[in-house]
Amino acid sequence: MQIAGPITRTLTPGLDTGARLERRRQLLCLGLAAPALLALGVFLFYPVVRLLLRSVFDPSPTLDNYVRAFAVPQYLGVLWYTLQTSVTVTILCLVLGYPLAYALAEARGSARSVMLVFLLLPFWTSIMVRTYAWMVILGDQGLINTWLLQLGIISRKLPLLFNSFAVHVGMVHYLLPFAVLPMFSIMVRLDRTLLRAAQSLGAGPWHVFWRVYLPLSLPGVLAGALLVFILATGFFVTPSQLGGRSDVMVAQLIQLQIMRFTNWGFGGALAVLLLVLVALALLLYSRVGRLSTLWGMGE
C-alpha cells in the first residue's frame, strides 16, 4: 500500500524546505545571469541564428548556397587552407607557449608580474598596427633583410613577406598569449608535492617532467589549443595584409560576400561551414579532454 506522496511530504518537513531552498538558489542563479544571458541572446545568438536561417531561406527555401560553396572549387580550397593554417598555428603556439607558461608558473613575485605585463602588453596595440609592424620587419627593405645583408650573413634578400611564412608569424604573434594563459593557470595550480614524491621515488628530472608534470598540465594545453584554434579560423586581417595571393582564409571570403556583394545567403552558408569546422574541433576536444576544464570546473 502506497503511503508515500502527500503523507511523506507532511511527515518529512526537512526535505520539503530543502527542495524549496534549492529552487530559490536556482532562481537566484538565473536572475544573476539573466542580464548577461539576455545581452548574449540579443546581440550574439539572435543575429547568428538569423544569418544561419538566411543561408537556407534566402531568397526562398533553397540549398543552392551550400551547393555553390561545394561546387565552386575555390571555396573548399580556401576552407582547407584555413584549416591547415589554423592547425599549424595552434601547434606553433603550443610549442612556443609551453616553455613560456612553465617559466611564468615557476617565477615568483615581481618577476612573474613583470613577465605577465610583457605577455599582455601587446593587447593594448591594435592588430592593424601590429600587422603593419611585421611588414616593416619582414619586408625586402625591412629590418631583418637589411641587418642580415649588412652583416654579410646573406647575399640575397630573403622572401619573408607576402607568403605563408609571414601569415604564420603574424598569427602566432597575436595568438600566443591565448595559448600561454590557460596553460599557465593550470600549471600554477599544480601540486608540487607530487613532483617531489616522484623525485623521492628515484625519478630523474626528465622522468619527473615526462611522467608527472606533462600529464598534469595537459588540460591546460588542450584548453589553450582549442582557444587558439577557434580564434585562428576566424582571422582575416593578417592573411590579407601579410599573405601572398594564395594565402586567403575563409573569413576574407565571407567578408566579401556579406559586405561588398550583399549575398547574405551565400555568406551565411560559408559562415555555417566555418561554424561546423569549429564544432568538429570542439567535438574532438570533448573526446580527448574534459570540456569542463575550459571554464575551470571539475579540476
Partner 1 sequence: MEATPAADTAPGVLTRRAFLRILAGTSLTLAGLGLASTATAAPRSAPAAQSGTVKILSAGGQLDECFRQTIWTPYAQESGLSIVDIGGSEPAKIKAAFEANNVEWDICEAWTEVIAAGIPAGWFVEVPWDQLSNGGDLFPELRGTTFARYGVPIFLFSSVLGYNTNTYQSPDAAPKSWADFWDTDKFPGPRALYAFPEHQLEIALLADGVPPDQLYPLDVDRAFKSLDRIKPHIKTFYETGAQQVQLLSSGEVVMSSVWNGRMFAAKRDGQPVDFTFNQGILAVDHYAVLKGGPNTPDAWKVMNAMIDPKKQAALAGCIGYGPTNSKAFDGMDPALAAQLPSSPQNKPLQAIQDLASWSQMAQAITERYNAWKLG
Nearest to 100 by CA among 192, 165, 169, 187: 187
C-alpha cell at 47: 543575429
The answer to whether 88 touches 168, Cβ cutoff 8 Å, is: yes
Calpha distance 292→271 (Å, rounded): 26
Stretch that binds partner 1, among 41-49, 58-66, 185-193, 206-214 (CB under 8 A): 41-49
Q: According to the binding rule CB under 8 A, does residue 144 interact with partner 1? A: no
Amino acid identity of 75? Y
Instruction: Out of 39, 113, 121, 140, point to the residue binding partner 1 (CB under 8 A).
Output: 140
The answer to whether 164 touches 244, Cβ cutoff 8 Å, is: yes
* Residues of span 223-282 touching partner 1 by CB under 8 A: 240-241, 243-246, 248, 253, 256, 258-264
**If you ran DSSP here, which 8-state letter would residue 190 be given?**
S
Q: According to the binding rule CB under 8 A, does residue 158 interact with partner 1? A: no
Within 13 A of 80's CA, how many CA atoms are on the CB side? Answer: 8
C-alpha cell at 221: 594545453
Stretch that binds partner 1, among 5-13, 66-74, 213-221, 222-230 (CB under 8 A): 66-74
Q: Pick between residue 112 and residue 130 the one whose CB is nearest to partner 1.
A: 130
Instruction: Out of 5, 31, 61, 73, point to the residue binding partner 1 (CB under 8 A).
Output: 73
Instruction: Out of 41, 99, 204, 205, point to the residue binding partner 1 (CB under 8 A).
Output: 41
Nearest to 183 by CA among 96, 118, 124, 122: 96
Q: Catalog residues that contact partner 1 under the rule CB under 8 A.
A: 19, 21-23, 25-26, 29-30, 37, 40-42, 45-46, 48-50, 53, 72-74, 77-78, 132, 135, 139-141, 161-162, 240-241, 243-246, 248, 253, 256, 258-264, 286-287, 290-292, 297-298
